[in-house]
Structure 1
Amino acid sequence: MRAARKIENKQAEVHISGAETICERKDIDRTASGFIHRALTHPRGWPDRIIVTIEQLYEPPLLIPMLPVRTADTSDPEQALQMVLDTLLRLDVSRKAAVNAMKVLTGKRQMRGAAIIDASSGKRCEPDSLRGVRVSRLGVDANARSSLARMLSRRGINTETVREALTLASKVAAHPSIIAEVCMSDDPDYTTGYVAAPSVGYLRIPNMKLMGSSHGGRVFFLKPGADVEKMIEYLERKAVLMEIRNPQPRT
């Protein structure tokens, strides 16, 4: 589902809401209705266009591991963004690449998808810098849904936002050419972002921005020399289901 609103007297539009999942045929009606309700009640405002696309999968989705979930102790945007920077540097992302990612997250220009940045040179790699790259065709394996809900409930974070972000981050981290991901929601009433990578897990970082701010974005850090086209094909077209393979740490 994608919901947007056109900007008056301009060809551009404002992104309002986006969501997707992989579900069984019997759940299509309920799932689509839930996505439409989300678009119509989103804090970013009323959309003038909602697009719902339903596609049948003809191949079994790839099973990928869920990233371990952790939460940092950050009390304000300055502390949170410093945590992001320090974590990225530990993951072998260059300072230039990390700083360029911060500009994407905090800039006025909002992309529809994610930016791709070379982890060494800091250069942007996505073919369309306005559209970006949209991670698609992802969901949670049916056998993992109850365990996931219990695990997140114990931490007080069993929300749709967290479940969807964790699923997306796990798909991204499963690709060998991606070193790390950083994300800050553009929702004005959600201030927690994250850094994700196989070695740090899904690291939630509270207070990345002030309440009411519509700034936000998503950046993938690519290994130097990686095949950008093949990586985008995986992110946008390869169907995956997240499963829980290891016990989750209580952090």
Structure 2
Amino acid sequence: MWVFNPNNKVQLSNSVSGASRSIKSTECRILRLLLDNEDLVVRKDVLVAETWGDRVVSDSSLTQAIAQLRLALGDSGKEQKIIKTLPKEGYQLISGSVCFDACYLEKNIETKCDNAAEPCAVSDSSVSIQPEGGSQQMFPAMKKVAVKVLALTVFFVSTLTFLWAGSIYMQSQAATKRPWSIEISEGTTFYIEGSHASEMLYQELAGQIISSISRVFISKNHEQFYVACEFNSQRHQDRQILNLTFTINYTADEIRKHINESCR
């Protein structure tokens, strides 16, 4: 059984196989909603609303997120042993396949208890009429709190901006130092970013990609593989491009299997 804690950096772990998986925030929201409604059908519109909020996304965004989630759980659209698709309705998480981490459940229960107790914290006997000057004395304290909150907000925004700019710079530097190579295998053109890991992944994928995929782009940073495939869609009857992300925990066989399932 997979143990799920959305607050951890590695959100999924399997005590039996020893495997661990990191998933994106969108996939975390979907899995949490499915697990909250275990063995029940969760409609697609509910999943989209709870996952992306007011953002306008296509049906393929949900389909891709479910496919990535299945891959992380060792499931597939063909087997559906963990996440079941109900056509024109939604998705259902099969009971006994995933459970919340005990620490996550304990923390959320404590939070709910604390929130529930707040309205009862002041009894009728403790209510008293404050003098007119009392409200005036509150404003300086509130002002101090507001100033501290604003200062912290500015600090965090500045820090995030600095880290983002640094990340963009490092990526641009890496891109200039890593030339791309082009290889053709069984009619599929591979564009490979010049790193040893990308070359190794290409060796595993060459000759194993379905014929509908015309081009594959492979790159990698220190934590993830980025794969983009251009293919002739059987569903839409036109050429499509799909971007996929895989953490380093995935095997080459799992990546190949997911590419062939998604890019068709």
Q: TM-score range by the shorter chain?
A: under 0.3
Quick check: which has more Rg, 1 or 2?
2
By relative contact order (CA 8 Å, sep 6+), the higher-ranking structure is: 1
TM-score under structure 1 normalisation? 0.23
TM-score under structure 2 normalisation? 0.22
